[in-house]
Structure formats: structure tokens, C-alpha cells
Structure 1
């Protein structure tokens, strides 16, 4: 048996080929794909995945609709996504080394399997080919990342994760794989819109826990490293096909096992008694300013806003409408949001005068803005930054 080519790169032959070279590259994922689930959690899903929500940073209503081909096994699964993670990780590494990249990427099955740290065998090659087909036939329509700041209405982009793919075989063995990935995905990587994943992610077997890890990694990416969310909200963002009661049962089992890499899970309750999941990073990142200069730029590229930080930006926009930019900039925006825990928001200010002014004049508006976003506030707590490095004195008060 001689040389055999399956598939083919026809429409994008003018793209420069980017050849994978590094095997031990840190795993990375694109931020938007971690905020809500864009992949099937189980094989064979043909029911569309739909998300519709208001982006807290832009105020725009965003939508995501994902469909798959029944002929090729439905929507691409969260395990198929490993191939995209491989490409993203290779791109980011090459960019940081100053190498030219392209969305036309060439690699060998051995490089992919070595990166995943799995032993290649017959069924692994078959699964890889099936994944290529599902990634190509999965259709995405979304308004996410459509020229923020320039648009006055939602623009929908349509694409597949893989535009074209080609497999070269010689003497019955796969020698090389070439894929052209979505321009939407490639463009986001140019701006390092990524987060680093724990390498143990690929050891997570189930779809529900895989997505939960990705979401927890995004949500706990801020300085505090902690995030809480209701079971129901996580259920909706996961796009699970399970009934809610079964999904909630799965979450309870995952909490009991507590085996997600680098993340601690705990069941807590909201003020209204709703089940909530507390997620805490156990390997919290160092502050970028404390890193050596050589590592600082890399670390800063990984720092993304947490949902709490995004909500704070939205609160400021709400207050702008009621109080005006001048007032908000003078008294509110200068507050440092420390964290949110057990219904209490903590802020830090540089002087007692600022705290007193906000307490007397603006605190009710501040609480109303947070509550309008669905936060159950018991209190807002203020600290005055001490002259001693790293210390602060508490001067806040409970909700009135």
C-alpha cells in the first residue's frame, strides 16, 4: 500500500503552513469557550446548544447557537475539543517565541497523543478521525467577539471549528495531519485571550466535570481565587441535556469526590436557601508585580476579569447613569474591590474621608446597583488602606 490522502486542503492552500514542533507545551483554552459550554457533554448530541445572555462589559445581548451533523455523530464533544486546545497551546507558545503562526496547522498523531500523554493505538486513531469530522461539521452562529465598540447592533458570525482537514497515510500508517481552524478562534488567540489549564485536565473522564473545571478555572481567575454560583445558573451555562434534578445530583457527587485539579468545591446556600457551588483555586496565581521581569509579561497575558470584576464594571456603568461620570470617577471608581463572600462585599479606600463620604452619600445607590445584577447583599464593608504594607483597618457597616 502506497501513499494515501484523505480529505484535502483546497480552499486555503495560500495560507502558510504552521508546523508543530514543541511537545511539552502548557495547555491553554480560549476565554469565551470557558464562560459557557460550546460543546456536547455526551457523544451523539443532535439537539442544538443555545445561549443568550447580556454581556456585563458591553451591555449587548450575545447569542450562541451550535448545531451538528447526525451523519457524523452530532455536535463536537468536549473531548473533541482537545484538538482545539492542542492548536491553541501551540499557537500561544510559538507567538511568545516570536515565531510566525497560521491557522493552517500541521502535526503528527504522535505529537498530539504525546501532548495528551496517552498511548496511541488503533481506536485512538479512529477517534481522532471522528473528532476531525465532528469539528468540521459542527456549525456555530454567534455574536460573541463581533467588533466591540464599532457595532450598533448584533452581527452574527457563522463558522465551523475546522474549515478543512487532510490526513496523509503511508504503508497503512498515519504520517501527518493538517487542519485549517476557524478564523474566529485564531483571531482571539492573537490577543492572548487565553487561560492556562492544569495538565491533569485531560485525565478528567466525564463531560460535566470537564466543563465544570473549565468554568471554575475562568471564574476563580481573579486575585481572591474564589467564586460562588447557584446550581441552576451552572446548569444553564453548561447546556446539559440532563434534567436539572439529575444535574444537581451530579454536582453533589462531584463535591463529595472533590477531585478537580487545582480547584476545591463546596456546597453552600444563598440567602434565599438556594443551592450554590463555592469554587476555590488551590494553586492561586502570584501577583504579576511580584514576578521576575522576564515572567511578568507572560503572567499578565493570562490575567482575565473574573465574573465579579466584570460585574463591578457593570455596577459602575449603572451608577454613571444615576450619578454622572464626574461623581462616579471622583468617589466610586477609586474604590478597590477586594472580594465578595457570604453576602458581604468588601472595598478598600485610600483614606477615611473617602469611606465616610461613600458611606453617607452613595452607599444605598451602590447596594441597589449590585442587587439589580442579582447579588444577595447582607452588607458592604469598607477598609482603609494602612500605611503598613499589606494591612488595612475595617471601617465598614452592615446593610441598612
Structure 2
């Protein structure tokens, strides 16, 4: 593979080059898979935003959920290391959608992962992939975040283990086997995942990848969504000062205004006004495909039966079931999940889970 020409930063596009334009996205040996990210780690600051080894222990808390992250001597798993999880999640979700049996152990060709995630396929690309596997396996997490209606409060790795099945004489791995953590696998089985834009893998800056994930999780298909700058910093897991974080976000906004390069959402900045906080605003570009089923366009969720609200109040006493219904409908819309076949039973089940978690 030819080496990439070095171009002065002021002339570079904010997107990486599309290194494999002639191939379909996420082409695997058995099936094609759209890129998917688990919603829990899209919501919470699990991955580091730096490129240097970071061995600091981190703890984040928000709305009753907390995450404690303990890196290994190799450093914290980074937002670019997350590509491995996205690749594995995407394959398993595609298999589930085809009615296939899946397990926590995923075997794939290293080359397929590198091309699917727009990485270099030279020796350096394979070396960086090995480092990513080591950091993913070494980073340990303790959390009370719920995935698949299960609250896991024990320690676990982002991946439990990995094995390089074959390696060439030149030192390039050929096949890899990864065992996913219970936390990630529960999210896959429950389909608590969202589809990502292909250009996610072309974003140069870690901060751009992270704010895209946050927007994809919270804005979804809505026309617009905004978040205060200080809360965005917390969700990003940035350890820089607010002043430096503001500067980085402003740079992302400037580049997006010049190039329209951020996937799915425009990013804009609203400076502090009198009595108001600084806001980062995400505007939907209308590029997220509408969910479809094998029967055709995605069906609407029907109105619930009057008796369903009575059952919901019994399942979730003391809560405003109309507000819960609004949140339930928004969750299905944002996540892109197919409408339930029995909406009444699904809503009552949602209320039971809501009550059990509180």
C-alpha cells in the first residue's frame, strides 16, 4: 500500500481520506453489516479522547448512573479503539436480524476490520490494531448502568479476552477472536444499539467522534437538540479545562461551518448570553435512514387502549404514566427499533422495568 502524502494541516480536509472507496461498507465473509454502537457507551464517557497512554482512574456520575474506569499499564482504551467493538457489534446484530445463533466470541479477519473501519492496512495499521485489543482487554469497568434490563455492578473489561489465531511471517495478524464482555453482549441481545454513519470512521479528531455519538444518542431523528457546554464536557469525559474544551468545540464548529463534514448533524455554538449558559446545538441533516421492516415502511405505534393505562399505573405506582408513554415512544423513535407487535403489552412491560430500576 502506498504511503499517504503529508499535507500541511491548514490545507487538509477535516475528514480522513476514504481509503477503501470501492468496497461495500462492513463487508464480512458471511454477511454485510451496518455499523452499530451500543447505546450505553454512547451515553457515558467510557473511552479516552487522547492518543497518549492515560493510566488515570476515572469516575463519572450523571442522573444516578455511575461509571468507574480503571486503565491498565497500557493505558485507557481510546475512542479509536472502540472501532473493534463497533465492528463486532455490527456483525452480531446482522446475524441476529437474519435469525442466526450468536455468542460472545467473535472471530474475524483483521483485514476485514481494518477496511470496514477505514484504517490503514499496512504494517502500522496492524500494529495499532493489536494495541487497541490490548487496551480494550486491559481497561476494567465497574458500573451500575443497565443493559438488557440487567444492572451489572461487578468489574469487567470492555472485551474479556482476545486471541490472534494466525499471524504472518511479516508480523501481520490474519484472524482474531474476541470475547465480548457480558455488558456489551447484553446490549446486543437487547438490541440497545444505534446505527452510525459511515463517515464516523473518517473523523480525524477524537472529540468529533465523541460528540457525534452523543448527538446520535440524544438527537436521533429530531430536528434539533442542544446541550450546555459544561454538561457536554462531562459527557465527553474531557479532562481539560472548560476554557480549552470550549476552544476545541469552537474549532469543530468552525470546520463544520466551512466543510459540512460532521455526519448526520450540523454543529453550532451559542455563546453565553445574559443569564444563559453556553450551548452546543445539533441540527439534523435528514440523512439518517428511516427504519424499515421486511413488510415495507416502518409502521406507526397505535394508540393505547384505556385499560392499558390502568395496568401501567398498577405496574408503576406514583408515576405519571402519560409522561412515561411519551418517553417510551421517544425511545423507540430515537433508537430506530421496530414498533412492538403488541404495543399495549410492550408499554406495560416498559413501566414494570421503569419501576424495578427505581
TM-score after normalising by structure 2 = 0.71
**CA-atom RMSD in angstroms:** 3.2
SS in structure 1 at match of 2:100 = coil
- Residue in 2 that maps onto 1:94: 95
Give 1:143 deviation, angstroms: 0.6
Structure-1 separation of matches of 2:326 and 2:102? 41
Structure-1 separation of matches of 2:92 and 2:293? 24
- Residue in 1 that maps onto 2:15: none
Q: Which one of the candidate residues 43, 49, 71 is aligned to 1:41?
A: 49
Give 1:99 deviation, angstroms: 1.4
Q: Does 1:174 align with 2:173?
A: yes
**Which has the larger strand fraction?**
1
Q: Which one of the candidate residues 293, 298, 309 is aligned to 1:296?
A: 298
Give 1:228 deviation, angstroms: 0.7
Whether the 8 Å CA contact 1:50–1:239 is kept in 2: the answer is no
Whether the 8 Å CA contact 2:119–2:125 is kept in 1: the answer is no
- Residue in 2 that maps onto 1:241: 239
Structure-2 separation of matches of 1:99 and 1:333? 34
- Residue in 1 that maps onto 2:201: 202
Give 1:279 deviation, angstroms: 0.6
TM-score after normalising by structure 1 = 0.64
Structure-2 separation of matches of 1:28 and 1:165? 20
How many residues align? The count is: 283
SS in structure 2 at match of 1:111 = helix
**Which blocks of at least 5 consecutive residues in structure 2 are unaligned?**
1-27, 302-312, 331-358
- Residue in 2 that maps onto 1:191: 190
1:189-216: per-residue Cα shift (whole Å, max 9, x none)? 1111010000000001111111011101
Structure-1 separation of matches of 2:127 and 2:42? 27
Give 1:147 deviation, angstroms: 7.5
Structure-2 separation of matches of 1:333 and 1:67? 35
Q: Which stretch of the first structure deviates more once superposed, 164-173 or 109-118?
A: 164-173
1:26-73: per-residue Cα shift (whole Å, max 9, x none)? 11100011112210100211122211122xxxxxx2210111112x2x
Q: Which one of the candidate residues 271, 276, 295 is aligned to 1:273?
A: 276
- Residue in 2 that maps onto 1:51: 60
After superposition, residues 113-192 of structure 1 pair within 5 angstroms as: 113-145=114-146, 148=149, 156-167=153-164, 168-172=166-170, 173-192=172-191
Whether the 8 Å CA contact 1:64–1:141 is kept in 2: the answer is yes
Q: From the superposition, tell whether residues 92 and 132 of structure 1 become closer, same or farther in structure 2 (CA, over 3 Å).
A: same
**Which blocks of at least 5 consecutive residues in structure 1 are unaligned?**
1-19, 55-60, 301-316, 340-400
Q: From the superposition, tell whether residues 89 and 147 of structure 1 become closer, same or farther in structure 2 (CA, over 3 Å).
A: closer
1:222-279: per-residue Cα shift (whole Å, max 9, x none)? 4x33111110110111111211100011111111111311211122257722110111
- Residue in 1 that maps onto 2:229: 231
Structure-2 separation of matches of 1:209 and 1:162? 24
Q: From the superposition, tell whether residues 177 and 292 of structure 1 become closer, same or farther in structure 2 (CA, over 3 Å).
A: closer
- Residue in 1 that maps onto 2:211: 212
SS in structure 1 at match of 2:298 = helix
Give 1:106 deviation, angstroms: 0.7
Q: Which one of the candidate residues 12, 28, 36 is aligned to 1:28?
A: 36
Structure-2 separation of matches of 1:81 and 1:213? 14
Q: From the superposition, tell whether residues 80 and 47 of structure 1 become closer, same or farther in structure 2 (CA, over 3 Å).
A: same
1:87-109: per-residue Cα shift (whole Å, max 9, x none)? 00111111111111111111111
Q: From the superposition, tell whether residues 45 and 64 of structure 1 become closer, same or farther in structure 2 (CA, over 3 Å).
A: same
1:360-398: per-residue Cα shift (whole Å, max 9, x none)? xxxxxxxxxxxxxxxxxxxxxxxxxxxxxxxxxxxxxxx
Q: From the superposition, tell whether residues 22 and 278 of structure 1 become closer, same or farther in structure 2 (CA, over 3 Å).
A: farther
Q: Does 1:67 align with 2:75?
A: no
- Residue in 2 that maps onto 1:379: none
Q: From the superposition, tell whether residues 292 and 66 of structure 1 become closer, same or farther in structure 2 (CA, over 3 Å).
A: same
Whether the 8 Å CA contact 1:226–1:279 is kept in 2: the answer is yes
